[in-house]
Amino acid sequence: MLRSSIVSASLAALSLAAFSGTVAAGCGGSTDTGSASTSTGGLDSREPPAKPTDAGKGDGPGQTFAVSKLFLGDTDRTGSPKPDAWEQYGYNLDGKISTETSTDHCKPRAGAQLKSVKKDGSGGLDNAFGKLLMPIIGSLASDATALINENIADGSFTILMKLDTLGDKANYIDIPTSLYVGTNLGGPAKFDGSDKWPVVPELLDNPADINSSKVKFANSYVANDTWVSGSKGDLDIKLSVAGFALNLGISNAVLSMKLDADRKGTTNGVIAGVLPVEPLVAELKKVAGGFSKELCTGSTFESIAESIRQAADVLEDGSQNPSKECNAISIGLGFEAKAAQLGKVSEASPPAEDPCAEPTPAGSGPTGAGGGGQGGAGGAG
């Protein structure tokens, strides 16, 4: 499994108050009588297209794409706000078409609403993040997606995907792909193929080698001009909420995007996977503590945390089991991308501080000594 930071975005208008509303999540029994999806795949279906069986390996010069638009689920792909826009993003992750009366679904958290948690989107699409959490965010920042896309357009950040040996054929069985985070372009993005995005070194095994990305999809392929990441992995999407980092740790992730015929852009991009609940709650606690250390403990944040837990609709491994309580939230994001280039490696960012972390006791140090000189120095440091 891969675990890396994928996006560093700025949502300056968002605040934790957006998460304080009550999640109209379905909680309750475990049930799903729905059968596995019979979709044949494709971006109009609820499963990515299958790997072709009669295609060759990549035979072209390759291409690098930079995300030009990112969609969180509060708008459709034109940018228009719609309450059901979340159904445009994601896949049928658990292989089921769940309803309120399904019997093989994980047990929703006590206090949640069965209909909200258990009922899938059309074709079994799983995206509780878009359905249940984005309306809460939107109660404060109705233009959340627009804010992110403004930051992409002004050159603040992007996601870069380098598809090796990509050519102009509709089908390939082997297109090794590396992912990067692009940062601080130095001006507005042109998205005409000329942008040279600096990349963050945190995603490189060797900061001196830009080709040493830690995030690789060695088994990705192209089916009917749709690129698919292949094996599922773990991705961390980092958003800056009112200046504080919020990490969305997506596990069992699958990515796909429709390639333009000239290979200069992509449409209908999808990032789908699940968010384990407790790590998400821990991340939100850091954001809360950034606003006020009083939110690091107490009933106020616990109420927020419980609302997040009530949105859980799947297990952490992406499956369903009626004997287990749901402990993860399905997520689906959308994107578009344009041809771009890898630039230089940027400087490393300083590690983010946890405002809720316990301070180092005075007089303590790395040696564990008490009030002596060495211990005192350690405490001061």
Averaged in consecutive runs of 10 residues, what is the pLDDT profile of the chain (381 residues)? Answer: 45 37 32 35 68 95 97 91 92 92 93 88 93 76 79 92 97 95 95 96 92 91 97 77 71 95 97 94 83 83 87 94 96 97 90 78 50 34 32
Whether 300 and 17 have beta carbons less than 8 Å apart is answered as no
Q: In angstroms, what CA-CA distances link 47 with 89, 93, 229, 360, 377?
A: 11, 8, 13, 49, 57
pTM: 0.82
Decide: residue 300, CB within 10 A, 0-12 exposed, 13-18 middle, 19+ buried: middle
Phi, psi of 83 (to 5 degrees): -65, -25
According to DSSP, residue 122 is labeled G
| pLDDT of amino acid 9 | 44
Structure tokens at 16: 């934790």
Burial class (CB in 10 A: 0-12, 13-18, 19+), 73: buried
pLDDT at 242: 53
First to last CA, the chain: 36
pLDDT at site 373 = 36
Q: Where are the beta strands (DSSP E) in 39-83?
A: 63-71
- CA torsion 32→37→43→44, rounded to 10°? -90
Say whether 201 sits in a helix, a strand or coil.
helix
Q: How far apart are CA 84 and CA 373, in angstroms?
A: 63
> What integer pLDDT is reported at residue 244 of this predicted model?
63
Q: What is the DSSP letter of 173?
A: S
